Structure 1
């Protein structure tokens, strides 16, 4: 079997049950993260509970944030093939060993990273313009699903060819179009069209060709519909996969898709696809409300019974539920990871547009991750998200209580099960992911900065390309590699903090705000602490 994009696998629950299901043949992208040497021998972890959020307004730490940004950009720059402008999925910590594959998510991340690097003065405007032009030229020439304007999930970054065999293993790859990955390329092209006048027309032409309704399945119980995980353009030979005309009514565009695989949780990076569909007028506003805030209260099998009430938005019945955790009520994600909660917030000003929904939930999620790492589990550090596994491959990490997944995303290397109400086990080998801590900078700048500083200086999870992808805090084993998506999340978060939410400003045009803000701002989450 062959891997597909890790984010596709990590966020696709089954419609109506929320149970995990992958959307294409294969494993998660453990193979996408090349093996690297394990690091050991770092100093023992500090006692838990050392940090708390602060309210100071001192910005003397900008120099530190800029150093992190410069090193992260150096990594992303090194990962990019000069001839194509396409970026590798992964690279070793010594900035060698390109992975031989890239994805729409990676390409999107490289585009917004070039813009951030330009605004921070790390590259000249001319250099940025040329870099973006080279990437767009490759996209214009790359094979893709022309009826929908969507790109396949895996390409060779050296020449832009569609991968048919997986690098290293030689396993076959059937071309797959991932909705969630296209969401990040689409968001990046929209931003480029606002931020780079010289490349505006080319970026806009690529973006305007994308049909977001091709992912919107109206033939589900949750009306007006939900987003599918994606589709194959060839028969993948998998059980449960059916040939059907493409959603969106495109003539002659028959594809294979799995009728059970939908994104049905609100706290998921897949909501970016919904945002793009609504803002382009291709899917109805009600799609935003067909995903679960929590599972309905009448369901008896979930681990945690929710609190909340039924209401209605855009003609859709919505259970405004939350999970209770450490005195807080928080709308959970599928796995309880930071990127599910905060990655769309890099672009859409969710907290400002939804002050009673995301404006409550984002800081609560950050606080919950911080309290889990410092107080409950006693790791001394915090920030949990899917990442490279320090012990090899790739793995999902999160805070189990913040997730709907019955089997849980766990925060430690052993995957220790825990049930609410029981004392949390101590002495576990917690795995912190710097990109998760970086995303938190936008909501707890001071405590997130201190946490990242200690990950660098005390755990040693830092090198010439910035933060390593993950570190197990008790054993000291470090995932000595970089994933371009995770690095672009780091740089995006640093850019928003240092540049006064510049990504928000680029993304949230007047037209986007007119269509999207009224949908988001009407909701009141059952979230407080």
Structure 2
């Protein structure tokens, strides 16, 4: 597959500088004011109205270069495995000491973006990916399913049963994390044909059917391959793996969430039936059985491939939107970095994605009045890792909140329960730059403006690009870089600068052949006013 390349090497010559969850100490944060040099650089990069597209492109190129610098620091050269996170100064000593399948996938696709935008040459990209693929082939995995465990040591490749002396973990096989690794492997094979055999040899052993539960037409969150001694966890053998495994007690029941990448890949490989596309719910039907969720939905029933689907939406600020589970940007918009959902689903995703972005923008700028927007799971500037989102854009009753104080909205559920008055104020809102990059396709001017203001108004930009999160009222910044979040930024920039090449590497072929007909037949109930696509 041949892709046009955009050269940004001239910028380098001029000297211009998951989910995986990181447990980050509060000391790794800053409350300092904006750096004058960064403010000047970003003010020069683009005007707020987006009229000068050339300047905006140069700004995107600069962001790509700096974000790639964080991956150069994250990766262990000997193994080609990226660490999960690293400190803001990019010193090797500040690495987290663990990695995940998602992180590895993110490094593979980010390496391709770096090559296709001219930051590294063909030989370096090939060598980097070859080292990574050799290490991945040697990682311990669950042989019957071909799936990988949740944590490994990036320096040795050893499977981890602890992330530190006081943080034991039970080795687990996650459907969504394996989905992102498989995405990286598929992209690497198509982007670098000389490595296709190595990448495909790993990916083709990964059977996503082992997560699929035909009784409910949904996938499980994952499984353990050792007895969990928990009667609530079913021991079963969905795909004839030869031995029992202990599945999570939950399925991924909400459709508009990031685990759909695992569903898509399973359908494309023929491991999961096409009918599964219509198995997860758009919203629950509006009965009191579901009154623990955010609020009652509106919609109608339709049938696709013999599966009855309630095409429900939730109301938010004059819009009707198919929600995510928690209300975060990551859930809704990571998948379309790789799969052109709004192109293949003109009556579904093409309507909903822009509305979802508009909802996030309006929450940040109008409802909560933070002055900034973009809410998604990220580092907590006060320490640790947390889910952030817009409560009303999620199905879950408590939802993910946008501020440190966990200010939520208790909406009524007609005929079932009363709500309470909406909050009159919000606390210290936390925005993460990767959320704006996810919105870049759907609201490019607004996304660039938001990012420039974050860099201008806070000390939020370092040697590896944007730091992971900012608490906008206190000014506290989480000065770390996460491989997952940096990977989303690289994928978004790769699409923006190189004619959707990231999408093309993944979606051409079997993915399009199997999924496009499914997306084309569905009509969501979404409606309202969102940013126009591509403007």
Q: 2:246 is matched with which residue?
A: 256
1:442 equivalent in alignment to 2:441: yes
Per-residue deviation, 1:34: 5.3
Say whether residues 1:62 and 2:54 are aligned partners. no
User: Which runs of 4 or more aligned residues in structure 1 lie more than 6 Å from their structure 2 counterparts after TM superposition?
Assistant: 52-55
Q: How does 1:208-219 map to 2 (within 5 A)?
A: 208-219=204-215
Number of the residue aligned with 2:495 = 496
Partner secondary structure for residue 336 of structure 2:
helix
Deviation at 1:509, TM superposition (A): 1.7
2:222 matched to 1:230?
Answer: yes
How far did residue 159 of structure 1 move? Answer: 0.6
Structure 1 residue aligned with 2:507: 508
Match of 1:527 in 2: 526
Aligned partner of 2:85 in structure 1 is 90
Q: How does 1:170-209 map to 2 (within 5 A)?
A: 171-209=167-205
> CA, structure 1 residues 98+515, in 2 after alignment: closer, same or farther (shift >3 Å)?
same
Which of 332, 351, 371 matches 2:342?
Answer: 351
Give, in whole Å, the separation in 2 of the partners of 1:172 and 1:431: 28
Distance 1:185 1:30 in 2: 18
Residues 236 and 137 (structure 1 numbering): CA distance in 2 closer, same or farther, change over 3 Å?
same
Counterpart residue number, 2:322? 331
Q: Which residue of 2 aligns with 1:14?
A: none
Over residues 403-422 of structure 1, what are the superposed CA-to-partner deviations in whole Å (9 max), with x where a residue is unaligned? Answer: 01111211011101224594
Aligned mates of 1:53, 1:456 — CA distance in 2:
14
Flag the 1:103–1:193 CA change in 2: closer, same or farther, 3 A: same
Deviates more, 1:466-475 or 1:419-428: 419-428
Separation in structure 2 between the aligned mates of residue 172 and residue 117 of structure 1, nearest angstrom: 35
Alpha-carbon shift at residue 423 of structure 1 (Å): 5.0
**Local SS of the residue matching 2:235:** strand
Q: In the TM superposition, what are the counterparts of 1:277-288 in structure 2 within 5 Å?
A: 277-288=266-277
Aligned partner (choices 136, 139, 148) of residue 136 of structure 2: 139
User: What's the CA shift string for 1:37-75, capped at 9, x where partnerless?
Assistant: 3211437xxxxxxxx997858343111111111111000
In the TM superposition, residue 241 of structure 1 has moved relative to its aligned partner by: 2.3
Give the match for residue 379 of structure 1.
Answer: 370
Deviations 1:199-235 (A, max 9, x none): 0111111111111100001233xxxx11001111112
- Return the alpha-carbon distance in structure 1 between the equivalents of residues 124 and 359 of structure 2: 41
Deviation at 1:399, TM superposition (A): 0.3
Distance 2:482 2:165 in 1: 17
Q: Which residue of 2 aligns with 1:475?
A: 474
Structure 2 contact 22–85 (Cα < 8 Å) conserved = no
Distance 1:422 1:444 in 2: 31
- Report the number of matched residues: 487
Distance in 1 between residues matched to 2:206 and 2:184, nearest whole Å: 13
Give the aligned partner of residue 11 of structure 1. Answer: none
Give the distance between the partners of 1:515 and 1:34, measured in 2 at CA. 44
Using the alignment, how far apart are the partners of 1:153 and 1:416 within structure 2? 31
Aligned mates of 1:56, 1:248 — CA distance in 2: 54
Using the alignment, how far apart are the partners of 1:352 and 1:361 within structure 2?
12
> CA–CA distance in 2 between the matches of 1:242 and 1:515?
31
State the TM-score, normalizing by the size of structure 1.
0.89
Question: 1:427, CA displacement in angstroms?
Answer: 5.5
Distance 2:398 2:219 in 1: 23
In structure 2, list runs of 5 or more residues that go unmatched: 1-17, 35-46, 412-419, 529-535
2:156 is the alignment partner of 1:156: no
- Distance, in Å, in 1 between the alignment partners of 2:149 and 2:326 is 26
Deviation at 1:303, TM superposition (A): 3.0
Contact 2:370 2:429 in 1 (8 A): yes
SS at match of 1:262: coil
In structure 2, the CA distance between the partners of 1:282 and 1:346, relative to structure 1 (3 Å rule), is same
| Contact residue 36 and residue 92 of structure 1 kept, 8 A | no
Paired residues for 1:422-441 under 5 Å: 422=421, 424-426=423-425, 428-441=427-440
Mapped contact 1:36–1:479 kept (Cα < 8 A)? no
Match of 1:77 in 2: 72
The structure-2 alpha-carbon separation of the partners of 1:423 and 1:263, relative to structure 1 and needing over 3 Å to count, comes to closer
CA offset at residue 440 of structure 1?
A: 0.5
2-structure distance, mates of 1:311, 1:54: 42
State the SS of the aligned residue for 2:160. coil
CA change 1:58–1:365 in 2 (3 A) is: same
Distance 1:76 1:458, change over 3 A: same
Are 1:86 and 1:107, in contact at CA under 8 Å, matched by a contact in 2? yes
* 1:312 aligned counterpart, secondary structure: strand
Give the secondary-structure state (helix, strand or coil) at the position aligned to 1:308: strand
Shift of residue 424, structure 1, vs aligned partner: 4.3
Contact 1:53–1:444 at 8 Å: present in 2 too?
A: no
Scaled by the length of structure 2, the TM-score of the pair is 0.88
Q: For 1:128, what is the secondary structure of its paired residue? A: helix
